[in-house]
Amino acid sequence: MTKVWFITGSSRGLGRSLAEAVLAHGDRVAATARNTEPLNNLLDKYPGQVLPLKLDVTVRNQVHKAVADAIAHFGRIDVLVNNAGVGITGAAEAFTDEQVRSQLDTNLYGPIEVTRAVVPHMRRQQSGRILQISSIGGRVAGAGLSMYQSAKFGLSGFSEALSKEVAPLGIRVTCVEPGGFRTDWAGASMTFAPSVEGYETTVDWMRGFFSGDFVPMGDPAKAAKAMIGLVDHPEPPVHLVLGSEAAGILKLADEARKAEFEKWMSVTLSTDHDDAVNFLDTAAGKALMNLKAIDKR
């Protein structure tokens, strides 16, 4: 059975690679972008399979119109891919108010609103897959990327909570967390805040890294293939890390977090009330564990 995909940010980068791979696979695509002109050649190559839709994910009425238009045209949405996003590098104190809002609007509030618009349709279908294109920066933070990674950490948390809500409805959610891929994320899609004295070895180093000879390891075509396989998997993960770079970063971060957690365990446990018992032995703890069991069905 062919699927209907709704992909944001599909005119370039990873979104474009995914849209092309999905169409070549024989599925249909509601391909959204702020500028749909680069999508016109897909209409000729895949007649009847693609619906270009103008969409700025930061504009609420455009979000709901695009979803409604896709449903009216194709009759359903089987796979939602929240891919639209932009990067920015700078010290936290250096960003303008507009830059902060833009990062949260595009990388967090936008995907949340698109998801909220699509989920009711999937709920009525009793089926659906949602892929949130986050980043390894949604699991591990680095100097110079505080605003971008704040949004991605938020998207990861939203997606994990959502996955627990909608699993009994036949909807599966995966937060896709790539490392560096050979798209224009660190190029045309990257902006910078002004440099601030004192950050030469941290933020400025990161800025130089991105604007210098940085060559990402990830292949967008292979990422697209992995995501097509993901939506057909009966038990998809809630988090999927893509790329050896991302895997290495996460492994080191997890080891450091575990060591810090264990080091401070005595302080952690010291804050319980004197009459407290093991939380997992309480009624609330048992109820929570029951919810976790339901998640895994």
Q: What is the dihedral of CA 161, 178, 115, 227, to 10 degrees?
A: -110
Considering 146, 152, 159, 163, which one is annotated as catalytic?
152
Considering 11, 134, 146, 156, which one is annotated as catalytic?
134
Say whether 134 is catalytic.
yes
Query: Residues near 164 by Cβ (< 8 Å), separated by ≥ 6?
Result: 291, 295
Q: How many CB atoms lie within 10 A of CB 97?
A: 7
Say whether 286 is catalytic.
no
Considering 17, 46, 109, 148, which one is annotated as catalytic?
148
Q: How far apart are CA 129 and CA 33, in angstroms?
A: 20
Active site residues: 134, 148, 152
